[in-house]
Amino acid sequence: AAKERGGRHRAYTPDLDTRAGEQARLAAELRTALEAGQLSLAYQPIVSLPEGRVVSVEALLRWTHPERGAISPAEFIPVAEETGLVVELGAWVLRTACAQAVTWRRAFGATAPERMSVNVSVRQLAEPTFAGVVAEVLAWTGLSARDLIVEVTETAVFDGGQALRTVKALHELGVRVALDDFGTGHSSLGLLQTVPVDIIKVDKSFVDRVTQAGRHAVIATALIQVSNGLGLTAVAEGVETADQAAELHRLGYRFAQGYHFGKPVAEPDFGAALTRA
Ligand code: C2E
Ligand code: CA
Ligand code: CA
Ligand code: CA
C-alpha cells in the first residue's frame, strides 16, 4: 500500500509512489496545466537604489494545482526542462509577460516599469529557434527589444555553443541578457570572459549577510567592482531589510530587488501598486 506522507497526499499506486513517479505525474499534469489556465505570472519590482523608483519588473511563473495548491517553480521548472515542455511553457511566459508590459505602458505611461525581465531556461537558449521566437513575440506584442531582459541561470551548458549563439542573436535584436544567481555557479567569473551579458544578478546568498563585516560583504564589494569594470549593470537579489538596501547602496549598487521593496504579486495587484506610487 502507498505510504502517507504528512497525511497531505492521497494514496498512490506503489509504482507511482516514488520520486520518479512523482516527477512523471508532475510532467503529465504540467502539460494540461497550461491549457487548463492553472499557470499564471507574478510580478516583482526591481528598483533603483538612489531613487527608490521601480525601473523594471521580473515575471515569475506560478502554478496553482487544483488539488495541491501552489507548486513552486523551483520544483516544476526542472521537470519541464527534462521533458522539453519548458520550450512551449517558456514561449507562453514570454508572450504573457511582454503583453503585460505593453498593457502597463498604455495604462500608466511614464510611471510604468521601463523593462520586463523574463526567466529563460538554458534548455530554451539551446533551441536554435529561440531568438526567432523572441523576435516574433516582440512583433506580436509591440514591446521594443530594448525593454526586454532575458534572465538566464548560469550553467556549464553555455559551453555547448548554441546557447552562446542565441545570446549573440538576442543582442542583435537589441534584447539584454542577465546572468541570474550570479556568484553561485561553478564558473561565474569564467562565464563573464566568454558570454557577452549585460547584467549580473548578484545572488541572495551574498546579500543576506552584506551588513555583517566579513567574507559576504567582501565578495559583494568585489562583484560590484567586476560589474563596473566590465561596464555591466549589477542587480542585488533577495534584499529583505532596509539595512541591506542601505549597505548595498553604499557599496555602489544601483539596482536591487527583494521582499523589502515588494514581493512577487499577480496582476491586477501589481498595477494597483503602480497607481498608488
Ligand atoms: P530566480 O529567477 O532567482 O527568482 C528569484 C526567486 O526569489 C523567486 O522565487 C522570488 O519569489 C524569490 N525572492 C525574491 N525576493 C526575495 C526575497 O527578498 N527573499 C526571498 N527569500 N526570496 C525572494 P520563485 O518565484 O519561487 O522562483 C524560483 C525560481 O524558479 C526562479 O529563481 C527561477 O530560476 C525559476 N523560475 C521562475 N519563473 C520562471 C520562468 O518563467 N521560467 C523559468 N525558466 N524559470 C523560472
Ligand atoms: Ca530570475
Ligand atoms: Ca536569481
Ligand atoms: Ca534562483
pLDDT single digits (tens) 192-251: 888 889 999 999 999 999 999 888 889 999 999 999 999 999 999 999 999 999 999 999
Question: CB-based contacts of 77: which residues, under 8 Å, 6+ apart?
Answer: 61, 86, 121
**pLDDT reported for residue 156:** 57
- The answer to whether the beta carbons of residues 264 and 273 sit under 8 Å apart is no
- What percentage of the chain carries pLDDT values higher than 90? 73
**Atom 21 in ligand 1: which residue has the minimum CA distance?**
238
Residue of 96 and 189 predicted with greater confidence: 96
Average pLDDT in the chain? 90
**Atom 25 in ligand 1: which residue has the minimum CA distance?**
60
ipTM score: 0.98
**pLDDT reported for residue 21:** 84
- Which residues keep their CB under 5 angstroms from ion ligand 4? 181
**pLDDT reported for residue 193:** 87
- Could you give the 3-state DSSP secondary structure of residue 195? coil
| Peptide bond connecting 268 to the previous residue in cis, omega within 30 degrees of 0 | yes
CA–CA distance, 33 with 217 (Å, rounded to integer): 42
**From the DSSP assignment, how many helices (H) and strands (E) are in the chain?**
11, 10
> Cell triple for residue 17?
509512489
**Atom 20 in ligand 1: which residue has the minimum CA distance?**
238
CA–CA distance, 40 with 55 (Å, rounded to integer): 22
CA 15 to ligand 3 centroid distance, Å: 35
CA–CA distance, 231 with 249 (Å, rounded to integer): 18
Query: Has residue 55 got a pLDDT over 60?
Result: yes
- What percentage of the chain carries pLDDT values higher than 70? 91
Which amino acid appears at position 231 of this protein? G
How far is Cα of residue 14 from the mean position of the Cα atoms in its chain?
36
Q: Is 180 in the pocket of ligand 1 (CB under 6 A)?
A: yes
CA–CA distance, 225 with 246 (Å, rounded to integer): 18
CA–CA distance, 235 with 45 (Å, rounded to integer): 12
**pLDDT reported for residue 5:** 47
Which amino acid appears at position 4 of this protein? E
Q: Which helix (H) or strand (E) holds 275?
A: helix 269-276
How far is Cα of residue 4 from the mean position of the Cα atoms in its chain?
34
Q: What is the pLDDT of residues 113-151, one digit of tens each?
A: 999 999 999 889 999 999 999 999 999 999 999 999 999
Site of grid cell 525593454: 147
- Could you give the 3-state DSSP secondary structure of residue 141? helix
**pLDDT reported for residue 178:** 95
**pLDDT reported for residue 249:** 97
Q: Is 61 in the pocket of ligand 1 (CB under 6 A)?
A: yes
**Atom 37 in ligand 1: which residue has the minimum CA distance?**
60
Query: Region 63-82: what's the mean pLDDT?
Result: 93
